[in-house]
Every structure is written in C-alpha cells, then in structure tokens.
Amino acid sequence: MPADPLSDVLSILKPRTYVAGGFDLGGDWSVQFEVHSGVKYFALVSGAAWIAIDGEAAPIPLEAGDCVLLPHGKRFIIAKDLALQPHSFRALPESEWSGGIATVNGGGGTMMLGGHFAFSDAHTDMLLGTMPPVVRLRDDSDKAGLRWALDRMRQELTGTQPGRLLVVQQLAHLMLVQALRLYLSHGAGQGAGWLFALGDPKVGAAIRMMHADPGARWTLPMLAEQAGMSRSKFASRFKAVAGTSPIDYLTRWRMLLAKDRLAKGNEQVGAIAISLGYESEAAFSTAFKRVMGYPPRKHLGRA
C-alpha cells in the first residue's frame, strides 16, 4: 500500500475530540469564543455568518458549504453582524442546549457544526506549520461527502440512538481529516510547514518515500532523485515549503515514530534504533535527546 503521510502524522499526534456539537441560530446573534488549545473547526450547514479573529484586520464572510479551521487558538467571534455585542459561548444558558446543539433566538437561520481537537504530542507544529489563524475552505467537487457527514452529525446530535456520542466523535474526526485534505489541495504557496510540503508535487513525493521507509539510509541526493530535481534546487524548495531541511525533517519524523514505539514499552531501544536507520543505540539516543529534549529510556512504557 502506498505511503499515506497524513494518516501517519495524525496517528502519531493522536487528535482527541474535546467537543463536537453545533449551533442553530436565529434572529440577530454574535458569539465570542475564548483562547483555546488545539484545533477548532466549524462547517456551515445553512445560512451565513462572519468570523473575526482577535488581532487580525479583516473578518471573513462565510456561507453554507464553507468550513473554517482555527489552528492557533486565538480568540474569535462568529456573528450574523459583527456590529452586534457578542455573547460568550460559555455564557449560553444550559436550557438552550439539547443533544449537543445550542438553539439561539429560536434557531432557523444559520446552522453550524464543528469540533475542538487537542493533540497528545507537543510537536503539532509539524502538522500545522505556519497556517494562518483562520483558514476558509470550500471545495464544490467534494461537497456531497462533506454534506453527508454534516447531516449525519446533526441527526446523531439531536437523536437518542445508543452509541451516538461515539458516532459523533468519529464523524468529527472525519470532518477534521476532510478539512485538512481541502487545505492540502488549496493551501500551496500560502506558508511553510509539513502540510504545505505534502501538497507540493515534487517535495511531497520525497516525503512519501521517507514515510514509506523511514529506516532507509536516505541522503539528500537520493531524495532529490525521488523528487526529480537537482540536489540544490530540491534542498532549496524543501526548505521553502516545509520550513526545515529534508534531513532534519526525516530525523524529526524518525524521533516521533520512536517516541510512539517507546511509549508502548514492548521493544528495546536498540531494536528501535536499528529499525530507524541508526548504526548504534548511542547515535540514536543522541538524536532523540536533541529533538525531544530527554533521553529515549525516559519515555519507555509511557503509553
């Protein structure tokens, strides 16, 4: 099976659903969300809204079918009219919530569904890179798939079927992956980071090879050949879109894999070192401590 770096990275970072739910909004409304950790996303099922991020100059208009990613935790407001006085999300009365959906002013105007994810690993910048504080995503070609997920989530949130909370969490993960896919297809040239690099046809080819065989003795010329580029042009392009050198990226990915395997506690450090391309446990331990900040044995059995 071909390498799938997006699945690889998400499996290591282990996104956990904090919240999955939505809003059914009617009349005039404005809701403020405080600083958050992890990633939030919203998808508009119907209606329209504006989103304004704290410290950013230009608010963004949203319409049905749009999805927004909020990767850097800044305070933000979503509103029908940004001139309205916002109400805190946390101050919404309990009586307005039913099955994970809050109905405001009788609902019927704008429906939003979304989720809030935390990540188990501190190296989330590998996934998010220099993404802007808010990303508006829209892809008419895959609207049917996203629409299905949104409709199903709404049914589960308002229903009483057994297991609905688990289904909602799975749907929330599905929508997060779909949002990242859309970003991969439309985010090229907008910043630097792993997602930008994966979306680059030539650099992405080299990344897929590193993920397919992380223990191979990759060199810069070998990776440049996979990308179909000269060594110098490949190194320059990789650094521009990924924000790091190819070999530094490979080292970091190896250490994230090692950390995950060490936490399970069923492999010796030396065996992990050899499988990831290191000639000795000492060389591996030096690299691991440089990237992670602590020796590998300190992480044994921490799953």
CATH code for the domain in which residue 275 is found: 1.10.10.60
Residue 84 contacts residue 74 (beta carbons within 8 Å): no
Give the CATH number for residue 46.
2.60.120.280
Strand order in the sheet with 87-88: 60-63, 48-53, 76-79, 30-33, 87-88
Q: Are residues 173 and 238 in the same domain?
A: no
Per-residue pLDDT at 276 exceeds 80: yes
- Please name the residues in contact with 165: beta carbons below 8 A apart, sequence gap of 6 or more: none
Q: Are residues 68 and 168 in the same domain?
A: yes
Q: Is residue 193 part of a domain?
A: no
- Which residue is listed with tokens 């506690």? 265
Report the distance separating Cα 66 and Cα 43, nearest Å: 6
Number of domains the chain is built from: 2
- Both structure tokens of 185: 């297809």
Q: Which domain holds residue 84?
A: 5-186
Q: Are residues 84 and 176 in the same domain?
A: yes
Q: What pLDDT was estimated at residue 50?
A: 95
Q: Is residue 223 part of a domain?
A: yes
pLDDT band at 96 (very low <50, low <70, confident <90, very high): confident
- Which residue is listed with tokens 């090229």? 188
SS3 of 105-166: CCCCCEEEEEEEEEECCCCCHHHHCCCCCCEEECCHHHHHHHHHHHHHHHHHHHCCCCCHHH
Q: Are residues 147 and 245 in the same domain?
A: no
Q: What pLDDT was estimated at residue 278?
A: 95
H-assigned helices in the chain:
5-13, 125-128, 143-158, 164-186, 194-199, 201-212, 220-227, 231-242, 246-264, 269-275, 281-292
Residue 126 contacts residue 48 (beta carbons within 8 Å): no
Q: Are residues 153 and 227 in the same domain?
A: no
- Of 186, 216, 236, at which residue does a domain stop? 186
Q: Is residue 195 part of a domain?
A: no
Q: What pLDDT was estimated at residue 2?
A: 62
Backbone angles phi, psi at 154, to 5 degrees: -60, -40
- Please name the residues in contact with 96: beta carbons below 8 A apart, sequence gap of 6 or more: 102, 103, 104
Q: Is residue 71 part of a domain?
A: yes
Least confident piece of the model among 70-79, 89-98, 107-116, 155-164: 89-98
Q: Are residues 148 and 222 in the same domain?
A: no
State what percent of residues in the chain have pLDDT above 70.
Answer: 88
How far lies 291's CA from each of 63, 78, 285, in Å? 42, 38, 10
Q: What pLDDT was estimated at residue 92?
A: 80
pTM of the model: 0.74
Report the distance separating Cα 149 and Cα 130, nearest Å: 28
Using one digit for the tens of pLDDT, what is the confidence trace for 121-154?
666 776 666 677 787 877 666 556 667 777 788 8
Per-residue pLDDT at 79 exceeds 90: yes
Q: What pLDDT was estimated at residue 220?
A: 95
Q: Are residues 144 and 214 in the same domain?
A: no
Q: Are residues 182 and 204 in the same domain?
A: no
Q: Is residue 262 part of a domain?
A: yes
Report the distance separating Cα 144 and Cα 269, nearest Å: 47
**Smallest Cα–Cα separation from 12: which of 85, 121, 158?**
121
Q: Is residue 141 part of a domain?
A: yes
- Of 118, 152, 186, at which residue does a domain stop? 186
Residue 101 burial (CB count, 10 A)? 19
What is the crossing angle of helices 231-242 and 246-264, to 10°?
A: 60
Using one digit for the tens of pLDDT, what is the confidence trace for 222-242?
999 999 999 999 999 999 888
pLDDT band at 273 (very low <50, low <70, confident <90, very high): very high
Backbone angles phi, psi at 268, to 5 degrees: -75, 150
